[in-house]
């Protein structure tokens, strides 16, 4: 698995990550979602540099223009709820992409232990497609891995780009161990050192789904 950390170099992403983390700014859920959308669009642009292209001739009102167009068959997928703002931002770049949605949640038992439950998945065939799978937080890595495996049940993707703006070292190590092949690229904007005993990222930013859409029962 290849890892690309866009936070290693200064860019506008740094400002968006600051606002995502700041507990005062987080009170504005509209801005929180908008910053995730912006990050989604920026990462999508970076992903576009890695895709395959072909020459095409386009007829303009004044003549013929020689252009380059993407040939990859792209599918954008997100883990509900937190991945939805990222999903929207990615679609701003890849507006012709097919779409998939996966519902996952933590089912807690005793001693703060939990299992990841996948309750719902809506996806077209993934055979030969370039998948962009979005989830705001990469904590343990279990949700993303289960979502990836679920998508692969309907076909073998050409390549998968995992978009997880805030990631833990633990989650990255987990995915590196379980997705060792070269057909997966992980895109992050910040890598945090610590997980709490409830597997929340520290310093992280809190619960991205709640901050985007309100607290759940």
Q: Tell me the pLDDT tens digit for each residue of 203-215.
A: 999 989 899 998 8
| Mean of all residue pLDDT scores within the chain | 92
Residues of the chain above pLDDT 90, percent: 78
3-state SS of the chain: helix, strand, coil percent to 5?
A: 35, 35, 30
Instruction: Report the C-alpha gap between 204 and 192 in whole angstroms.
Output: 7
Torsion on CA atoms 183, 187, 188, 193, rounded to nearest 10: 10
Cis peptide preceding 203, ω within 30 of 0 = yes
- Judge: domain 2-213, CATH 3.30.1330.40: no
Residues of the chain above pLDDT 70, percent: 94
Residue 209 burial by CB count (10 A; 0-12/13-18/19+): exposed, middle or buried? buried
Tell me what pLDDT residue 112 has: 60
Q: In this model, does residue 18 exceed pLDDT 90?
A: yes
Instruction: Report the C-alpha gap between 158 and 5 in whole angstroms.
Output: 22
Q: Where are the alpha helices (DSSP H) in 9-79?
A: 12-21, 29-48
Q: Tell me the pLDDT tens digit for each residue of 56-71.
A: 999 999 999 999 999 9
Tell me what pLDDT residue 122 has: 87
Q: What are residue 115's DSSP bridge partners?
A: 107
Q: Tell me the pLDDT tens digit for each residue of 176-203.
A: 999 987 799 999 999 999 888 778 899 9
Q: Tell me the pLDDT tens digit for each residue of 105-144.
A: 666 656 666 566 777 788 999 999 999 999 999 999 988 9
């Amino acid at each position: 698995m290849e890892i690309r950390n866009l936070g290693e170099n200064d860019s506008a992403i740094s400002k968006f990550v600051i606002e995502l983390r700041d507990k005062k700014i987080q009170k504005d859920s509209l801005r929180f979602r908008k910053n995730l959308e912006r990050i989604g669009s920026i990462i999508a642009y970076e992903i576009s540099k890695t895709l395959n292209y072909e020459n095409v001739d386009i007829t303009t009102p004044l003549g013929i223009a020689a252009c380059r167009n993407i040939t990859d068959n792209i599918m954008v997928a997100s883990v509900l709820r937190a991945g939805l703002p990222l999903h929207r931002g990615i679609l701003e770049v890849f507006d012709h992409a097919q779409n998939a949605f996966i519902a996952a949640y933590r089912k807690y038992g005793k001693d703060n232990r939990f299992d990841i439950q996948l309750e719902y998945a809506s996806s077209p065939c993934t055979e030969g497609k370039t998948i962009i799978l979005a989830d705001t937080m990469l904590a343990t890595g279990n949700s993303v891995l289960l979502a990836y495996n679920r998508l692969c049940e309907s076909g073998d993707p050409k390549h998968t780009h995992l978009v997880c703006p805030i990631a833990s070292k633990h989650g990255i190590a987990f995915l590196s161990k379980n997705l060792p092949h070269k057909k997966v690229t992980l895109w992050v904007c910040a890598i945090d050192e610590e997980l709490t005993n409830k597997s929340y990222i520290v310093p992280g930013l809190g619960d991205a789904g709640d901050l985007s859409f309100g607290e759940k029962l």
